[in-house]
Amino acid sequence: MRHSFAPFGPAEAHFLSVGSGIDFTQTDFTQPQWLCVSGYDDDGMIMGLCMFEFANWFDAHFSIVIADRRCITRRIMQAMFTAVFSQATRVTAFVEPWNADALRQAKLMGFVLEGFGRNLIEGNRDACVFGMLQNECRYLKRNRHEPVADTSKPVSDGRRAAA
């Protein structure tokens, strides 16, 4: 398995477009708002793509399309999230509510469900909105053993802690 942090080319844009249902074929991934990660098998076939689009100075939108889960290792995830959190304070992922596998994976990665957006994807597809803050990222070494605050537990007087 070979990985690259180079901007996506036409083949990667096509793979991403087919896998996400969003047309990325005209996107210029060489622009600074994009952080791209590609995984290839030994024959050069694309096995998976991850990308972050820096929507503004503090938020990066995360997308992933995987053909073979072996291409996204803990080491690659650590490199990706180290890079993105050096520039952003949060990462946002939009997941279609019918995509049970993606919903499960987002939670396993450490994303927290924050809400639901109607027509949030491409203006015509609903999305569950997930967010991750740097201190919640399971792939950063300094956070691996730190507990993540659980705001759903009752506080000492029996009330729920504020979210």
Give the whole-angstrom CA distance, residue 76 versus residue 63.
15
Place of tokens 């520039």: 87
What strands, in cross-sheet order, belong to the sheet with 34-40? 2-4, 34-40, 46-54, 59-66, 90-95, 125-133, 112-121
16 and 65 Cβ atoms separated by less than 8 Å: yes
Residue 90 has φ and ψ, to the nearest 5°, of: -150, 160
Residue 133: strand, helix, or coil:
strand
Residue (of 115, 150, 111, 149) closest to 132 by Cα position:
111
Cα 71 from chain centre: 15
Residue 15: strand, helix, or coil:
helix
- Mind listing the domains of the chain with CATH numbers? 2-143 (3.40.630.30)
Tens place of pLDDT per residue across the chain (163 aa)? 899 999 999 999 999 999 999 999 999 999 999 999 999 999 999 999 999 999 999 999 999 999 998 898 999 999 999 999 999 999 999 999 999 999 999 999 999 999 999 999 999 999 999 999 999 999 987 654 544 444 334 334 444 434 3
